[in-house]
Structure 1
Amino acid sequence: MATIPKIVNKNIFKRAVFFFIIAATITILATIITYMINPDLKGVMESLGDKSSNQFRESTGIKKVWAYVVNNGFVVPLQMFVLTLIPVQFLYLINIISTAFLPGILFGVVLQVDSRKGIEIITSTIPHYFVEVFAFCLFAAVLFELNRAVRIKIRNLFKKDKEGISLVGKISETIKIYVVLILPLIILAAFLETYIADIIFSLFQ
């Protein structure tokens, strides 16, 4: 954490924390709503299963880690980056919202099936949830600055008094933070989900 101020300014870090609070709130609300509305459990589980690729479901060990890193470390950030280039604010939060929403549904379902087992599963999930979601939120906070630069560049096309801002510089800064901070956090989350979650869950048995 000591290196974060050297790479990310305080405003970006504060915005990342704010995004994380929103994501955690979405997960909590999704959990409560799912638990209260008593949905068709079989249908929900099948739906959640369909959203997971066969590669995720069939992979184990280091192969599962790699599948996780490919999806969450490259595919999702690329989707967020592309959405950032559209001059509409906060589109890049779509991935974070879905990432926060789906675990909430799952938590609500497992709590309905067996409240004790559900609490154990949720507890074992917390470490990798925190790291994964915060990594996305930190990336979103950086993309906030990049999206702002994109919107300024477009506005400059219609203004005589143009605001000075380097889009190339913002892209370079985004890539640097992604490589130095975001990707390592995603890799850490992959190991936490693959190995540590099972260890924590086994402690309750």
Structure 2
Amino acid sequence: MKNLEVSCIKRAFIIYGIMMLVAIVTFIISLVFYPSEEIFKDIASKLPSNSAELKGLDKVWMYVVNNGFTVPLQMFILSLIPIPFLYFLNVISTTIITGIIFGFAIHVVPDFGWILVLSSTPHTLIEILAFCFVASGLWTLNKSIVRKVSNFFRKEKRYGLSILEAMYNLIRVYVFIALPLFIIAAFAETYLTDFIEHVLK
């Protein structure tokens, strides 16, 4: 089990590296071929609508519920479908949307855009890392499900980690690594972002 957790952590950081590369490429592309205002408004409309009205711990709780529970639940449901990597859609979309928003912000208002990017970077990095740990745990679960389903059509059965073992590993990774990261990201997004903005203005 310990080796399994180590491999899960290594895989999470590999995924994280790939997502950072995707974010950088998306950011650069957005600087060169920035999206129209309609696309930007469509992206912005998908963000939590009541975040501006909430303050303090209420805002923290909203971020924790959305990023720490709702999105991981969606990823978990997708991982139950015996199709590899389907659960990565949330991580990839979050990364791409972040790159687009950062690039567009710099295009529209360069001075404030850079402040937005610099102030939002800390919580964004932590948040995406948390999603990568969830995806890493789901990778093991989905692999077990795919193998279980494919064994129905194989004469020679393949063996590996059971679904229950994969689920246990997923719970441990989520509770002890991903969820704390989501909570840290929520506090950073609520308090640190405003602090950095205030310092840079």
Per-residue deviation, 1:53: 3.0
Per-residue CA shift, 1:27-64, capped at 9, x if unaligned? 222222222124333x2442233112323343222111
What is residue 16 of structure 1 aligned with on the other side? Answer: 12
Residue type of the partner of 2:174? Y
Pair 84,193 (structure 1): closer, same or farther in 2 beyond 3 Å: same
* Paired residue type of 2:21: T
Cα offset, 1:109, TM superposition: 1.2
Percent of counterpart pairs with the same letter?
39
Letter in 1 for 2:147: I
Structure 2 counterpart of 1:109, from 100, 104, 116:
104
The answer as to whether partners of 1:89 and 1:147 remain within 8 angstroms in 2 is yes
User: Is it true that 1:178 corresponds to 2:174 in the alignment?
Assistant: yes
1:164–1:10: structure 2 CA closer, same or farther, 3 Å change rule?
A: closer
TM-score, with length taken from structure 2: 0.91
Q: Give the corresponding residue for 2:199.
A: 203
Question: Is the 1:31–1:108 contact (alpha carbons within 8 Å) kept by the matching residues of 2?
Answer: yes
Letter paired with 2:164: V
Q: Distance in 2 between matches of 1:80 and 1:7?
A: 24
Q: Find out whether 1:132 has 2:127 as its counterpart.
A: yes
Structure 2 distance, partners of 1:71, 1:15, is: 24
Letter in 2 for 1:16: A
Structure 2: how far apart are the matches of 1:60 and 1:143? 33
Report the CA distance between 1:90 and its aligned residue.
Answer: 0.8
- 1:99 is displaced (CA, Å) by 0.7
Contact 2:126 / 2:181 at 8 angstroms: preserved in 1? Answer: yes
Alignment of 1:54-203 (within 5 A): 54-162=49-157, 163-203=159-199
The worse-fitting range, judged by mean Cα deviation, of 56-65 and 91-100 is 56-65
Q: TM-score, normalised by structure 1?
A: 0.89
> RMSD value over aligned CA atoms?
2.0
Q: What are the Cα deviations for residues 49-91 of structure 1, in whole angstroms up to 9, with x where unaligned?
A: 3112323343222111111111111111011111111111111
User: Measured at CA, do residues 100 and 38 of structure 1 come closer, stay the same or move farther in structure 2, by a change above 3 Å?
Assistant: closer
Alignment-derived partner of residue 47 in structure 1: 42
**Aligned 8 A contact 1:8 1:177 in 2:** no
Q: 2-side partners of 1:120 and 1:73: how far apart?
A: 26
Figure out how many residues of one structure are paired with residues of the other and give that number: 200
Letter in 1 for 2:138: L
Unaligned runs of 5+ in 2: none
Kindly state the Cα deviation for residue 103 of structure 1 after the two structures are TM-superposed: 1.2
Poorly superposed stretches of 4+, deviation over 6 Å: none
Inter-partner Cα distance in structure 2 for 1:39 and 1:170: 41
CA contact (8 A) 2:144 2:160 kept: no
Segments of 5+ residues of structure 1 without an aligned counterpart are none
Please give the alpha-carbon distance, in whole angstroms, between the structure 2 residues aligned to 1:23 and 1:8: 22
